[in-house]
Amino acid sequence: MTDETYNGWTNYATWRVNLEVFNGADLWENENASAEFCKDLVEEQIELDAKGIARDYALAFISDVDWEEIAEHLKEDAA
């Protein structure tokens, strides 16, 4: 059996999005952060910043993100 996690996270996409977008818990002191909020925030940023094929690849990449895991991590950091 192989370990499919990445640096303690569900997968690379989840780890990377958390690192690049949500790192810095002092900015996210919100115990009510939800998976939907996290996903919407990232999708909005992609829509603002990316065009064409870059947008398509970014949206495909975040489809692998475990948004629940990120939301739980933010809640733990806020506590």
pLDDT, one tens digit per residue, over 4-33 is 789 999 999 999 999 999 886 555 556 667
DSSP annotation string for 20-51: III--GGGG--TT--HHHHHHHHHHHHHHH--
Is 50 inside a domain boundary?
yes
- Residues 64 and 40: their CA atoms lie apart, in Å, by 14
Range of the domain at 70: 12-78
- 52 occurs within a structural domain: yes
40 within domain boundaries: yes
The total domain count for the chain is 1
Question: Can you give the pTM of this predicted structure?
Answer: 0.84
pLDDT for residue 61: 98
Q: Does 51 reside within a domain?
A: yes
The CB density around residue 6, as the number of other CB atoms within 10 Å, is: 13
Residue 3 lies in a domain: no
Angle of helix 35-49 relative to helix 52-62, nearest 10 degrees, comes to 170
Q: Is residue 47 part of a domain?
A: yes
Tokens of 50: 């990316």
